[in-house]
């Protein structure tokens, strides 16, 4: 069992795609064990994407990620990290495989509808960024 952090980005929330994104994860067998809607400040977006500090797109990315509400979720399942990355598709919707969220719904390389953790280390950090342990519901329901 593995956990990962996914976000429906501002372009997805704005276009009423929250349910569509969650539905794709659930249909793949992943369980939602934490869920919330929030709006990041610019400073919080800069902290979340700190690994990209110094990249040419950093300011555009963090301005965009703080431009409107997002939905944060923790997904659990076997190979959850890789599964979510596969369902999301490549960063640039133009390069994403057909049938992936980004190919079907993404607008451009920046406004690409979803985020998903890229490694076990980052998943732990990113989950902790948005959720405390008592906000994650596991087991029988």
Annotated catalytic sites, by residue?
Answer: 115
Residues 6+ apart with CB under 8 A from 47: 129
Across the chain, where does the E strand assignment appear? 2-8, 31-38, 70-77, 114-116
Please identify, using beta-carbon distances, which residue of 20 and 118 lies nearer to ligand IDP.
Answer: 118
**In whole angstroms, what is the distance from residue 62 CA to residue 50 CA?**
10
Closest distance between ligand IDP and the C-beta of residue 141, in Å? 30
Please identify, using beta-carbon distances, which residue of 31 and 58 lies nearer to ligand IDP.
Answer: 58
Residue with the two structure tokens 């998903």: 116
Angle at 11 between CA 114 and CA 16, to 5 degrees: 95
Look at residue 69 and give the partner it binds from Mg ion, ligand IDP, none, a contact being a CB closer than 5 to 8 Å depending on partner kind.
none
Size of the site for Mg ion (CB under 5 A): 1
Positions touching ligand IDP (CB under 6 A) are 57, 60-61, 91, 109-110, 112, 115, 118
| Residues in 82-111 at the binding interface with Mg ion, rule: CB under 5 A | none
What are residue 35's DSSP bridge partners?
73
Closest distance between ligand IDP and the C-beta of residue 8, in Å? 12
Please identify, using beta-carbon distances, which residue of 67 and 141 lies nearer to ligand IDP.
Answer: 67
The three-class DSSP label of residue 31 is: strand
Q: Which residues bind Mg ion (CB under 5 A)?
A: 118
């Amino acid at each position: 069992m593995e956990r990962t952090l996914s976000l429906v980005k501002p372009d997805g929330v704005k276009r009423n795609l929250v349910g569509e994104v969650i539905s794709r994860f659930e249909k793949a067998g992943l369980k939602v064990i934490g869920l919330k809607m929030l709006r990041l400040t610019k400073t919080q977006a800069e902290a979340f994407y700190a690994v990209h500090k110094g990249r040419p797109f950093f300011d555009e990315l963090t301005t965009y990620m703080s431009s409107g509400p997002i939905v944060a979720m923790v997904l659990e399942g076997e190979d959850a990290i890789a599964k979510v990355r596969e369902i999301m598709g490549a960063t640039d919707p133009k390069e994403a495989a057909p049938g992936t969220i980004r190919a079907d719904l993404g607008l451009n390389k920046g406004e690409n509808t979803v985020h998903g953790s890229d490694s076990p280390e980052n998943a732990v950090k990113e989950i902790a960024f948005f959720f405390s342990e008592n906000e994650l519901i596991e087991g029988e329901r």
